[in-house]
Amino acid sequence: MALDTHVISELRAIVDEQYVVTQREDLWVYRHDGSVEHAWPGVVVLPATTDEVSRVMAFAHREGVAIVARGAGTGLSGGAVADGSILLSLNRMRRILEVDTANRTALVEPGVVNLDISKAVHQHGLYYAPDPSSQKGCTIGGNVAECAGGPHCLRYGTTTNHVLGMEAVLEDGSVIWLGGSHRDAPGYDLVGAFVGSEGMFGVATKIRVRLLKLPEAVRTYLAVFNRMDDASATVSRIIGGGIVPAALEMMDALAIRAVENARKMGYPTDAEAVLLVEVDGLAEDAEEEGAEVLRLLHEAGAREVRVAETEEERERLWAGRKGALGALGTLAPNYVLVDGVVPPTRLPETLRRVGEISLKYGLPIANVFHAGDGNLHPCIVFDERKPGETARALEAGGEILKVCVELGGALSGEHGIGLEKQEYMPLLFTNADLDAMQKLRLAFAPRGLLNPGKVFPTGKARHGGNVHAAPAASTGDAWI
C-alpha cells in the first residue's frame, strides 16, 4: 500500500530525501526479515539521530500512520515485516557512544552490530555476553525487541539480563529514559517490560548494556554419542550435578550430516548426536568443572570426547555448530524452523515426538538446539517446488509447537512471536492473560500504531514456523 505524497514529503523534510526509500525495486529488500513472512512497506525511512526518530514518530502519530522498526532484518518471526506502514530502519544509528570500564557498561545506538561491542571492549578485558549465532550481523536494537538469546545465555542470561537502561521514543514522539546505569535502578522494571516487546512499546535509540570480564579460562568439549537418548539424558545429568555450563548445545544425526556435507568439520556421520559443552571462569573453577563434565560425558556413554586445546580448535568446534543452519541447503532447498522450548528433563520425550512427527509427514527434521535450557530448533527440510510439501512442513511445525506446550514448555525461546506464532498464543495463554498483555501494550502506545498486527491472535490461519531458502554450503550464521 503506497502512502500519499504528503506523507512522503514530510518524511523527506525530516531526514533528507536520500534517506527516504520509495522506489519499488528498492523497497524489495525490505519486504522480508529472516522469515517467510513478507509484505510491501509503504515507505522506508532511515533516521540518524534520536531527534529524527522522534520527529518521524510524532508526525506518524498525528497522521495515524503505523510504524514498524527494523534493525538488520535477521529476525525469524516476521517482526520486522511492514504492510503498508512506515518502516523505520535504524541502520544509520550505529555508534558506540561510551564505554565505562570502571562500571563495566557501554552506551550504544540500536544499529550497532552485536559482535562489534565485544570487539570494541576486548582491549579492556571485557565483552558483551548475549551471543545469538547471527551476532556478526544482528543489531542491538533488534536484540532488545526480541530479547535475543544465544548459546552462552544458558549461564549468563539473555538480552534482558544485560540491558540496564535505554532512551526510548514512544508512539507520540516523546523521548523518555527507562532504567539507569546499574542493575538496581529504583521503581518499576520498565526496562524488563520493554525488552522483548517486539517493537510494540516504542523504539530504543540509546541502550546501556552491561559488560562482563573476559573469563580467565575456557574449556570446550565435543562429545559423540551413538544414541540420541544418551545425549539427551546427559544434559539432565550435567545440570542435575550442579554444573551450569557457559553453553550446552546439541546436534542430531541429520544436522551432523548437513554440516559435514557443507564444511567437513570432522564430525562422525554415523553418530546419532553430538554435545558441545563449554565451561569458563577462573582457571581453577574451569579446570574443576571441566574435569567433572568430562567424567559425566564418559559415564553417560559418550564414545568419544574431543577437547579443544587451543583457541583455534575451540573456534573450529563452534564453527560447525554455528554454521549448521546454512548447511541445511545441502539436504533440501527449504526448511521450516520451529523455536519452541521444553523443560530440559523432557528432552528425550520431546525428541522422540519430533521424530514421530517427521515420520507422520514424511519430512526429515534436523535438530540443532540449546540443550541446556531446552530451547529447541527443529528444522523441517523440504522442497517447496513439490506439490503439497510446503503445507505438510507448516502443519508439522505447528504440531511441534503443540508438543512443546503440552510438555510444559513455551512457544518461543528467543525468536519472538511476531507473525509466526501469534495464532498459537491461546495454547499457552488465557483470554485474560492476553487482555492484560494488550493493556500493558496500550499503556506505552495507546493508539496501537507501533508494529500492529503482531504477537496477538487475529483468527487468521497461520503456520507454526518459518520457511527459508536454505543456501547450500553457506557459511552465514543464522540466529539460533
pLDDT digits over 257-307, tens only? 999 999 888 889 999 999 999 999 999 999 999 999 999 999 999 999 999
Mean pLDDT of the chain: 92
- Grid cell at residue 334: 527449504
Task: Give the single-character DSSP code of 124.
Answer: G
Q: Residues of CATH 3.30.43.10 domain(s) within the chain?
A: 5-89
Could you tell me the maximum CA-CA distance found in the chain, to the nearest angstrom? Answer: 70
CB 331 within 8 A of CB 256: no
Q: How, if at all, do strands 43-45 and 86-89 pair?
A: parallel
Handedness of CA 436, 191, 132, 21 (dihedral sign): positive
Q: How confident is the model over 39-72, as pLDDT tens digits?
A: 999 999 999 999 999 999 999 999 999 999 999 9
CATH value of 5-89 in 3.40.50.300, 3.30.43.10, 1.10.357.10, 3.10.690.10: 3.30.43.10
Q: What is the CATH number of domain 217-322?
A: 3.30.70.2190
Whether domain 96-213 has CATH 3.30.465.10: the reply is yes
The CATH code that applies to domain 328-469 is 3.30.70.2740
- pTM exceeding 0.85: yes
334-337 and 378-382 strand pairing: antiparallel
First to last CA, the chain: 33
Q: Other CB atoms closer than 10 Å to residue 264's CB: what's the count?
A: 9
Amino acid letter, 480: I
Q: Where in the chain is the domain with CATH 3.30.465.10?
A: 96-213
Task: Give pLDDT, residue 470.
Answer: 54
Residues 6+ apart with CB under 8 A from 272: 225, 226, 227, 228, 231, 252, 253
The 10s digit of each residue's pLDDT in 209-218 is 999 999 999 9
**Long-range contacts (CB closer than 8 Å, 24 or more residues apart) made by 362-365:** 362/392, 363/389, 363/392, 363/393, 363/396, 364/254, 364/331, 364/332, 365/254, 365/396
Lowest mean pLDDT among 70-79, 105-114, 466-475: 466-475
- Every domain of the chain with CATH number 3.30.70.2190 lies at 217-322
CB 410 within 8 A of CB 374: no
Contact 343, 409 (CB under 8 A): yes
Q: Rounded mean pLDDT of 399-420? A: 94
Q: CA-to-CA distance for 64 and 78, rounded, in angstroms?
A: 22
pLDDT of 418 above 80? yes
249-253, 338-342, 466-470: which has the minimum mean pLDDT? 466-470
How much is the average pLDDT of 370-392? 92
What DSSP assignment string belongs to 246-266?
SEEEEEEHHHHHHHHHHH---
pLDDT tens digits for range 128-180: 999 998 899 999 999 999 999 999 999 999 999 999 999 999 999 999 999 99
